[in-house]
Structure 1
Amino acid sequence: MIGIGETAPDFTLPRTANGGDTDTLTLSALRPAPVVLYFYPKDDTPGCTTEALDFTRLAADFAAAGAVVVGLSKDSPAKHEKFCAKHGLGVILVSDEGADTCERYGTWVEKNMYGKTYMGIERSTVLIDGTGRVVQVWPKVKVKGHAEEVLAAVRALPR
């Protein structure tokens, strides 16, 4: 997993337009805003839906603190659009179908379920400051209360 103090790897990925045409998002283009980059396994599953809804519920608070919230999974842009429409999501979702960005952040890991091993995204969040440095990392996230904890960390950033 990427470490605190490291420069966040830049990326340009397809993003949701939340009802409009899909375009791309480049991480470095968001500077000088802090970025909450959360990695999640799959659209429209219980934990991932709860997490996206929690970040959406607090979207105005993140915006008031000057931060941009971006969710990242391997799902396609079309799946992201359906996910956003179905649940009224107000966060940006980006598609890392090849898992390149996940690999560079260290969130593409070997997982084990019912005795089978497979590669998948570890639910994690990275807080990136306005200069592009990683200032906080949450590996193996438990969804309940997570968005509130991240918001508190964003509010604690120097302005």
Structure 2
Amino acid sequence: MRFKFFQPRADHEVSLPSQKKPASPPLIAVVRHKTYATTKLLLLSSALLVGAQSAQADVGKLYNESCAACHDSGALNAIKKGDSASWNALIQQKGMDKLVQSVKVGIIPMPAGGLCKNPANAKGICTDKQYRELIEYMSK
């Protein structure tokens, strides 16, 4: 008696009965997951954008209440807001940390703190972070 052995072709998948294929999730579950993930991403993006706009508005308000008196007009030889070349040169020359320190202690003719008042701070003084944000705001 002759036995013929079956040789599967390369384009056919062969699986033994003991091997179970993993069940794929139902299509509706995949669609719901993708929709949920997309919605979550959109909400997170929106929150970050609103937060960034709010922070920008806060810096703008703080600028108008403190720095604008001199940096809008260039009074007392202050670098004007928006003069990117002059601001960037000053930042490169001093470095941001030293520039913030100069603002805090004052430079002739700018008074210490540059008139920056922070009502959220118990001492009413602006933070280093706020000074950095103001400098970056003016340099654009």
**TM-score, structure 1 normalization:** 0.26
Kindly name which structure, 1 or 2, has the bigger radius of gyration based on alpha carbons: 2
- Greater relative CO, 1 or 2 (CA 8 Å, sep 6+): 1
Higher share in strand: 1
Higher share in helix: 2
**TM-score, structure 2 normalization:** 0.28
